[in-house]
Structure 1
Amino acid sequence: MWLQISLLWICSALKLTVPSHTIHGIEGQPLHLSVDYNFNATASEIQIIWLFERSQSNPKYLLGSVNQRVVPDLEYQHKFTLMPPNASLRINPLHLSDEGNYIVKVNVHGNGTIAASQKIQVAVDVPVTKPTVHTEPSSGVVEYVGNITLKCTVDRGTRVVYQWMKNGKHLHAGPNYIFSSNNATLLIVPAVKEDIGNYSCLVSNPVSAMESEIIAPTIYYGPYGLRVKSDKGLNIGAVFTVDVGQVVLFDCSADSNPPNTYSWIQRDDNSTQVIKYGPHLEVVSDKVAQKTMDYMCCAFNNVTGKRDETHFTVVVTSVGLEKLAQKGKSLSSLAVITGISLFLILAMAFLFLWKRYQPHKGINVFMFSRAEADYRKAQAFSGHESALDDFGIYEFITFPDLTSGSRVSTQSVPGPDFVAGQDMLSTVYEVIQHIPEQPEQDHQHYIIVIQYEQLYTSSYCVIQYDTEMSIQEEQQCRMQYKPLCHYG
């Protein structure tokens, strides 16, 4: 960017154009200060003068020219060169001592004299070299116990700016990151596992930039996340199921620095014993003395002094994992079913013995149908307003004389389930069944139905007649057919 500066002198204008900001030069390299001028007047002579001044010192003459004839200062005649036709200055080579303010002045003489001057600031920088990072302590620290200090140094460079990087990203101050005043030193207080990473130092100045080699501080931690895995994958939580005769390899692992030392412990009811060292354990199921065996894996970090352990159980079974899980779920229902089955068996046995040795019941059952009008006439016997309310099932129990010598043999009128020569152990019911009214026909049939029960079965005896009977006649009919269906 160039700053346009206009100067007015009398009625004519002289304009100088110079860089607007500080110019940074590199030590040992040439530097070109570009200056241009123009004016609106007739000039007979043009004079250009360059001066140099350091802070708090008087300006020093470098060179001058009149109408492009250069008159250098003898002390600097090989260092500074005027670049006509404009007023630019070349410095070669550039040294640190050349840093300061350079003043250019232009005089134009014609009808009168007009003049203009401007100042240019020059800074000389030395490029930075590749930085080096040092770690203290170099042997590493224990998590939450020690602190880490990272120092960044460069051999050469001016106006160096320091910036710390972690895993390729700029690192900013935080609860456990403390920087020195110029950022050349990083302090990690205290060091934790999360501080592990790739650190580097980036140094720069206006003319160069360099980054250090990556360094990874050593932080000791752990063990964390201890767990046991099986190569068969047959595990439910902390329980591993192993088929009989199967060889299973167990692996114990935990996050730790340095790596843990591992030990395997087998636990019995009364004692524990170390059976192996190392992260792997082989279990041969047919060599296990019990159906279940408890194990423990211990991980120990000998630098941090911390340890962790995990417990697990090996179950030797001939069923797979799925059947083992189903067995656990159905164990309670199987016990309930077994109990109910035993109860039913005992109840049936008791009922059989009770039926077998109870006094024999005589059967006095009859059921017959008659016209509904006759039942209505019989309401005086039932005590109800309508004999229709008397329809139902009635139970009669008779106990024969216990002193009688023997049971009466089965009669010759068997029911459908009758077996010859078999005693009838039965519960006796008299069933009075309502027969709906039938439309008047030439012939109306009446029946007597007698139901009797053998052990676990029911049989019926049906007798049909065509003549309507009175109550007295029904009584006589009942007595007449009773022996055919009466057992006892």
Structure 2
Amino acid sequence: MLSWSPLANLFWDLQCKLYFLLVGICSALKLTVPSHTIHGIEGQPLHLSVDYDFNATASEIQIIWLFERSQSNPKYLLGSVNQRVVPDLEYQHKFTLVPPNASLRINPLHLSDEGNYIVKVNVHGNGTIAASEKIQVAVDVPVTKPTVHTEPSSGVVEYVGNITLKCTVDRGTRVAYQWMKNGKRLHAGPNYTFSSNNATLLIVPVVKEDIGNYSCLVSNPVSAMESEIIAPTIYYGPYGLRVKSDKGLNIGAVFTVDVGEVVLFACSADSNPPNTYSWIQRDDNTTQVIKYGPHLEVVSDQVAQKTIDYMCCAFNNVTGRRDETHFTVVVMSVGLEKLAQKGKSLSSLAVITGISLFLILAMAFLFLWKRYRPHKVIQQKLQSRAEADYRKAQAFSGHESALDDFGIYEFITFPDLTSGSRVSSQSVPGPDFVTDQNMLSTVYEVIRHIPEQPQQDHQQCI
């Protein structure tokens, strides 16, 4: 293979630049590459695309491809003059020039092919113009599916143990590691620590909130793979101990049940592994375990007292932690009490309704009495009397003219308390008079008009 020394390469560039300054045609040739860094996959072909363009008259076009590694001299791969390719005999079946441009095809690509590829184009016409480009090629091996190992594999107790998760891959170059929890990216935190390359995750200390689905995502520029989900075993609890019942009325820690009811109580708490439960009854400052398990059945008509105190105790055998809750059961006739409350509510409503009706009727009666009082009725009757009644009043008074008799008369008869009755006549200013049980009668009348003159008097006036 021909070699191209760095000194010769430098001399070539200086010559082109000098020629540009003197002649001004060096810029007429332009090389274009998609990227100066390309990642290839081991075992697959790689295409290095290079286009060139110039605006000068050309009689010959020369293309040269060189390859160099770090701290080594460039090696000749192939060249062409007017599309006639002259390959290096060592690489004639691996490197191919792709006309009409200056593109290079590498097939197959190996790890040893990683390095810098230099392309040079010379155009000869009235003069010679040249240009060159360098492309860095990185060869990667696709990553395989990673595997996650947990230490310890048997599980740990919260606040006591630590967990180490290790991610490994069988094949892959330039592997990047990323940890996921419940499908989201996991970042470093107070209890999360990563190794220098993120391949190892350390959780110190372990708490209940660390429970979840963990996975490891590995990637490189040409591939990406994710591990299977792993859920570390964390022992915790008990937390949130509570008691519930299927019947009765629950207010706080007091359960009210009806006489004769069979009530089932359930005790539960969040824990891993599941808790063991015990039911304790307190009576006269003494306690006794009456049952084991999460459920307790109480028959209300078989208890000796109307108020019973109970306690549910939860214990985690692995964490060694326990919790307990106290509650009271009150046995009473809940149904009869509800009926009595309904009866009281109904009686109160009836009383309020009765009082309201009485007040309405009383106000109506008072209104009617004020509007139609008895003396007004009597006045209306007196005004509507016939003329004959006023004639009688004239004869009784002894006057010939009714004008002399116009006024108010009142006749009152009182019983004689000693020997009989006596009659007295007295003028009373007011029209109202209250009648006693011994009073015989009271009569009063008001004359409102003057009777007509006799016919003969009328003729004398004429």
Return the TM-score normalized by structure 1. 0.65
Q: 1:13 aligns with which of 28, 40, 46?
A: 28
CA contact under 8 A between 2:67 and 2:115: conserved in structure 1? yes
Q: Deviations over 1:43-79 (max 9, x none)?
A: 2211111010011111111111111111111111110
Counterparts in 2 of 1:328 and 1:82: CA distance versus 1, 3 Å: farther
Corresponding residue SS for 1:427? strand
Counterparts in 2 of 1:282 and 1:88: CA distance versus 1, 3 Å: same
Q: Deviations over 1:53-109 (max 9, x none)?
A: 011111111111111111111111110000011110000011111110000011112
Counterparts in 2 of 1:127 and 1:420: CA distance versus 1, 3 Å: same
Q: Report the count of equivalent residues.
A: 444
Counterparts in 2 of 1:355 and 1:91: CA distance versus 1, 3 Å: closer
The Cα of 1:262 is off from its aligned counterpart by 0.4
The Cα of 1:360 is off from its aligned counterpart by 49
Q: 1:422 aligns with which of 437, 442, 447?
A: 437
Counterpart Cα distance in 2 of 1:291 and 1:443? 109
Counterpart Cα distance in 1 of 2:285 and 2:75? 100
Counterpart Cα distance in 2 of 1:273 and 1:385? 120
Select the structure that is richer in helix. Answer: 2
In structure 2, runs of 5+ residues without a counterpart are 1-10, 13-17
Q: Deviations over 1:221-246 (max 9, x none)?
A: 11011010001152121111121111
The Cα of 1:270 is off from its aligned counterpart by 4.0
Counterparts in 2 of 1:74 and 1:412: CA distance versus 1, 3 Å: same
Q: Deviations over 1:374-401 (max 9, x none)?
A: 9999999999999999999999999999
Counterpart Cα distance in 1 of 2:403 and 2:278? 91
Corresponding residue SS for 1:6? helix
Q: Deviations over 1:8-67 (max 9, x none)?
A: 864671111113331011111110000111212222211111010011111111111111
The Cα of 1:278 is off from its aligned counterpart by 0.6
Q: Deviations over 1:266-295 (max 9, x none)?
A: 111142211111100111111111111111
Counterparts in 2 of 1:72 and 1:335: CA distance versus 1, 3 Å: same
CA contact under 8 A between 2:413 and 2:442: conserved in structure 1? no
The Cα of 1:123 is off from its aligned counterpart by 0.6
Counterparts in 2 of 1:379 and 1:440: CA distance versus 1, 3 Å: closer
Counterparts in 2 of 1:432 and 1:302: CA distance versus 1, 3 Å: farther
Counterparts in 2 of 1:135 and 1:373: CA distance versus 1, 3 Å: farther
The Cα of 1:111 is off from its aligned counterpart by 2.0
CA contact under 8 A between 2:316 and 2:322: conserved in structure 1? yes
The Cα of 1:113 is off from its aligned counterpart by 1.7
Counterparts in 2 of 1:104 and 1:403: CA distance versus 1, 3 Å: farther
Q: Report which stretch shifted further, 38-47 or 368-377.
A: 368-377
Counterparts in 2 of 1:236 and 1:50: CA distance versus 1, 3 Å: same
In structure 1, runs of 5+ residues without a counterpart are 445-488
Counterparts in 2 of 1:11 and 1:306: CA distance versus 1, 3 Å: closer
Corresponding residue SS for 1:373? helix
Return the TM-score normalized by structure 2. 0.68
Q: Give the superposed CA RMSD.
A: 11.1
CA contact under 8 A between 1:410 and 1:422: conserved in structure 2? no
Counterpart Cα distance in 2 of 1:144 and 1:388? 124
Corresponding residue SS for 1:61? strand
Counterparts in 2 of 1:347 and 1:42: CA distance versus 1, 3 Å: closer
The Cα of 1:346 is off from its aligned counterpart by 39
CA contact under 8 A between 1:222 and 1:257: conserved in structure 2? yes
Counterpart Cα distance in 1 of 2:237 and 2:399? 95
* 1:318-467 matches, cutoff 5 A: 318-320=333-335
The Cα of 1:117 is off from its aligned counterpart by 1.2
Counterpart Cα distance in 2 of 1:226 and 1:425? 94
Q: Report which stretch shifted further, 367-376 or 267-276.
A: 367-376
Counterparts in 2 of 1:116 and 1:380: CA distance versus 1, 3 Å: farther
CA contact under 8 A between 1:365 and 1:429: conserved in structure 2? no
Q: Report which stretch shifted further, 198-207 or 249-258.
A: 198-207
Counterpart Cα distance in 1 of 2:108 and 2:196? 34
Q: Report which stretch shifted further, 379-388 or 244-253.
A: 379-388
Q: Deviations over 1:193-215 (max 9, x none)?
A: 11111111111111111111111
CA contact under 8 A between 1:223 and 1:256: conserved in structure 2? yes
Counterparts in 2 of 1:342 and 1:76: CA distance versus 1, 3 Å: closer
Corresponding residue SS for 2:370? helix
Counterpart Cα distance in 2 of 1:235 and 1:424? 76
CA contact under 8 A between 2:119 and 2:133: conserved in structure 1? yes
The Cα of 1:417 is off from its aligned counterpart by 29
CA contact under 8 A between 2:248 and 2:263: conserved in structure 1? no
CA contact under 8 A between 2:36 and 2:134: conserved in structure 1? no
CA contact under 8 A between 1:359 and 1:399: conserved in structure 2? no
CA contact under 8 A between 1:51 and 1:62: conserved in structure 2? yes
Q: Which residue of 1 aligns with 2:76?
A: 61
Corresponding residue SS for 1:443? helix
Counterpart Cα distance in 1 of 2:401 and 2:237? 96
Counterpart Cα distance in 2 of 1:25 and 1:111? 40
Counterparts in 2 of 1:417 and 1:357: CA distance versus 1, 3 Å: closer
Corresponding residue SS for 1:367? helix
CA contact under 8 A between 1:14 and 1:116: conserved in structure 2? yes
Q: Deviations over 1:133-156 (max 9, x none)?
A: 111111111111111111111111
Corresponding residue SS for 2:334? coil
CA contact under 8 A between 1:410 and 1:421: conserved in structure 2? no
Counterparts in 2 of 1:380 and 1:428: CA distance versus 1, 3 Å: closer
Counterpart Cα distance in 2 of 1:92 and 1:48? 20
Counterpart Cα distance in 2 of 1:166 and 1:408? 122
The Cα of 1:131 is off from its aligned counterpart by 1.0
Counterpart Cα distance in 1 of 2:453 and 2:274? 102
Counterpart Cα distance in 1 of 2:395 and 2:161? 113
The Cα of 1:312 is off from its aligned counterpart by 1.0
CA contact under 8 A between 1:135 and 1:148: conserved in structure 2? yes
Q: Which residue of 1 aligns with 2:174?
A: 159
